[in-house]
């Protein structure tokens, strides 16, 4: 009886499902960390750049800020120039992102059920799982972005600004955390503090000042890095030179096509790595965004934050691409996935509440059926797309892909 009581208390513990999700996801990552043993995806760029930094104190990827590259260097120095050295840090940062996301949901007054569902959806979303498996810069960027969001909703404005600066230092896309919190601050009805200005100030200061320090740690010299504003200008210039007119890549797609053309970036590796949004998330993105806007109008802070998050990390890409013609790929949607998981977690939780409230009737069982259907389709999408099972997704469904 005592053991049964302890197990019952453990099951009722708020963080029980979070721990299960993290342990299961971490186990899956570690089981495949050395498979394949060669460089995959853009690891070919960033690991080679890290090797050059270690050997020659010089970066070959000057279009990116230094922090993300330094994490790749740190992994190699800590665990060796092998799959463990390349991928341990991305896995750990990916796990941190999941934990931060759960606490963000709870801080936005989402119920434990809604928060757990949203976290489950994020943890086994293919694009999220993929980017947390490989030595690329995006996972570091998203982890700091998630930390910035959590600190912001906790009204830790200075620390939030620092986290936004670190997110942008990992990859320039991390700067989109700034518009996210600004949109939320602008439209929130609960606590629009003027201290929010400190978030903007410390984001800029952190980015500029730490960039000098991190660049110095790469080059072991201040030569060429005395003017951080010139460095920023150079990064933007190099990044902006990659346009649809100058880049010939079969998987290049403007952002407005990401949600109406399901064209995964499939690769020749086995296990089969596929850069694609899980079909369940892709199919429900537009209705989920509409639902979050509806909840925002109803003065729901989670709905407002999710809508602001999606607007800043996805919708802003559309005018930016029209103006600059900057080339883009489906995995650029990665920072926006969490916003959809947040909204979808809210919606499915409401259906569960409806099921519990109703004693009988078709509506009761329809609500439960929808929840089960979405979760099952999401899980199946993960199994098909993720590298856990060596399935060639392109051949399976006959979709034309780029590689």
What tens digit of pLDDT does each residue of 154-187 get? Answer: 999 999 999 999 999 999 999 999 999 999 999 9
Q: Characterise 327 by phi-psi region: left (phi > 0), alpha (psi -120 to 50), beta (else).
A: beta
33/133 Cα distance (integer angstroms): 7
Q: Which range is least confidently modeled, 39-53, 158-172, 385-399?
A: 385-399
Q: Please give the DSSP secondary-structure letter assigned to residue 326.
A: B
% of the chain residues with pLDDT over 90: 63
For range 368-375, the mean pLDDT? 95
For range 38-59, the mean pLDDT? 90
Q: Considering only CA atoms, which of 370, 367, 347, 345 is closest in space to residue 357?
A: 367
Q: Considering only CA atoms, which of 115, 158, 122 is closest in space to residue 143?
A: 122
β-strand pairing of 274-275 with 265-266 = antiparallel
For range 16-30, the mean pLDDT? 93
What's the pLDDT at 57? 87
| pLDDT-derived band at 220, boundaries 50, 70, 90 | confident
Kindly report the average pLDDT of the chain as a whole number: 89
130/247 Cα distance (integer angstroms): 24
List the beta bridge partners of residue 275.
Answer: 265
Residue 271 clears pLDDT 50, i.e. is over it: yes
Residue 403 clears pLDDT 50, i.e. is over it: no
What's the pLDDT at 402? 46
208/228 Cα distance (integer angstroms): 6
Report pLDDT digits (tens) over 285-334.
999 999 999 999 998 999 999 999 999 999 999 999 999 999 888 899 99
Comparing 269 with 172, the larger pLDDT belongs to 172
| pLDDT-derived band at 400, boundaries 50, 70, 90 | very low
51/56 Cα distance (integer angstroms): 8
For range 336-350, the mean pLDDT? 96
| pLDDT-derived band at 389, boundaries 50, 70, 90 | confident
Q: 351 with 370: CB under 8 angstroms?
A: yes
φ, ψ at 291 (rounded to 5°): -65, -40
| pLDDT-derived band at 393, boundaries 50, 70, 90 | low
Report pLDDT digits (tens) over 75-84.
999 999 999 9
φ, ψ at 274 (rounded to 5°): -130, 115
Q: What does each C-alpha distance from 21 to 27, 74, 92, 323 come to in angstroms?
A: 10, 27, 14, 41
% of the chain residues with pLDDT over 70: 91
Domain ranges of the chain: 2-397
Q: What does each C-alpha distance from 382 to 65, 113, 311, 403 come to in angstroms?
A: 32, 21, 25, 20
44/235 Cα distance (integer angstroms): 20
82/76 Cα distance (integer angstroms): 7
Residue count of the chain, please give it.
Answer: 403
Q: Considering only CA atoms, which of 263, 257, 260 is closest in space to residue 275?
A: 263
Residue whose entry in the numeric block shows the structure tokens 């998050």: 309
What's the pLDDT at 165? 96
Mean pLDDT comparison of 184-193, 233-242, 318-327, highest-scoring range: 318-327
Q: 289 with 309: CB under 8 angstroms?
A: no
Q: Is 83 exposed, middle or buried (0-12, 13-18, 19+ CB in 10 A)?
A: buried
Task: Report angle CA 289, 102, 384 to the nearest 5 degrees.
Answer: 65
Residue 1 clears pLDDT 70, i.e. is over it: no
Comparing 218 with 338, the larger pLDDT belongs to 338
What's the pLDDT at 121? 97
Residue whose entry in the numeric block shows the structure tokens 């700067």: 175
Give the other-Cβ count within 10 Å of 2's Cβ: 6
273/251 Cα distance (integer angstroms): 14
Q: Any alpha helices (H) in 154-248, and if so which ranges?
A: 157-170, 177-187, 197-219, 228-240
């Amino acid at each position: 009886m005592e053991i049964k009581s302890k197990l019952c208390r453990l099951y009722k513990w708020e963080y029980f499902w979070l721990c299960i999700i993290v342990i299961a996801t971490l186990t899956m990552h570690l089981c495949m960390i050395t498979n394949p043993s060669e460089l995959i995806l853009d690891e070919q760029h960033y690991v080679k750049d890290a090797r050059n930094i270690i050997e020659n104190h010089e970066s070959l990827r000057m279009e990116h800020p230094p922090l993300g590259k330094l994490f790749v260097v740190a992994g190699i120095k800590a665990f060796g120039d092998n799959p463990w050295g390349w991928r341990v840090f991305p896995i750990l940062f990916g796990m941190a992102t999941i934990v931060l996301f759960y606490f963000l949901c709870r801080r936005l007054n989402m119920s434990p059920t809604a928060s757990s569902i949203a976290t489950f959806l994020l943890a086994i979303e293919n694009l999220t799982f993929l980017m947390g498996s490989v030595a690329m810069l995006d996972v570091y960027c998203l982890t700091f972005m998630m930390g910035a969001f959590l600190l912001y909703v906790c009204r830790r404005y200075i620390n939030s600004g620092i986290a936004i600066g670190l997110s942008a230092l990992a990859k320039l896309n991390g700067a989109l955390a700034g518009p996210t919190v600004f949109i939320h601050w602008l439209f929130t009805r609960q606590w629009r503090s003027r201290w929010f200005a400190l978030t903007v100030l410390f984001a800029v200061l952190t980015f500029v000042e730490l960039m000098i320090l991190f660049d110095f740690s790469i080059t072991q010299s201040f030569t060429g890095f005395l003017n951080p504003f010139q460095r920023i200008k150079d990064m933007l210039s190099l990044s902006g030179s990659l346009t649809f007119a100058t880049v010939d890549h079969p998987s290049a797609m403007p952002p407005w096509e990401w949600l109406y053309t399901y064209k995964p970036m499939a690769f020749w590796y086995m296990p089969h790595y596929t850069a694609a949004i899980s079909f369940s998330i892709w199919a429900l993105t537009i209705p989920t965004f509409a639902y979050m806007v509806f909840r925002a109008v109803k003065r729901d802070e989670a709905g407002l934050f999710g809508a602001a998050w999606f607007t800043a990390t996805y919708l802003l890409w559309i005018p930016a691409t029209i103006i600059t013609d900057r080339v883009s790929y489906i995995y650029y949607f990665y920072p926006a996935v969490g916003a959809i998981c947040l909204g979808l977690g809210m919606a499915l939780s409401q259906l569960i509440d409806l099921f519990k409230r109703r004693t009988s009737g078709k509506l009761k069982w329809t609500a439960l059926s929808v929840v089960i259907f979405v979760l099952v389709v999401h899980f199946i999408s993960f199994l098909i797309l993720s590298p856990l099972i060596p399935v060639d997704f392109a051949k399976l469904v006959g979709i034309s892909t780029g590689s």
